[in-house]
Amino acid sequence: MTVKPTISLTDEAHAFARSLVESGKFASLSAVIQHGLRLVERENEEHRARLDAIRADLDRRAAQPSISMEEMDERLAAWRLDRGRAAPADLA
């Protein structure tokens, strides 16, 4: 099915689209607009996929066991001793 909506373009956008048609890159102004819409659709899909990946990562991290601040302090102190490092004055 084909729909023929009325759209408005700026003079610059129209000139650019027309130049793409005149150079042979696209067959018509409609083809330019359709290509642009496909690019926007692809961008939206990629954005949605990135958000889904971030949500999945956050869910995975939230499901992992957590430790208390005291346990983290103990682990850091042990790590520093193992590495032969003293605790920084502002963190000790």
- What angle is formed at CA 58 by the lines to CA 52 and CA 61, rounded to 5 degrees? 140
- What angle is formed at CA 78 by the lines to CA 72 and CA 80, rounded to 5 degrees? 100
* pLDDT digit string, tens, across residues 34-78: 999 999 999 999 999 999 999 999 999 999 998 999 999 999 999
Enclosing H/E stretch for 53: helix 29-63
Average pLDDT over residues 78-91: 73
- d(C-alpha 76, C-alpha 78), whole Å: 5
- d(C-alpha 32, C-alpha 38), whole Å: 10
- d(C-alpha 48, C-alpha 44), whole Å: 6
Q: Give 51 or 88, the one with higher predicted confidence.
A: 51
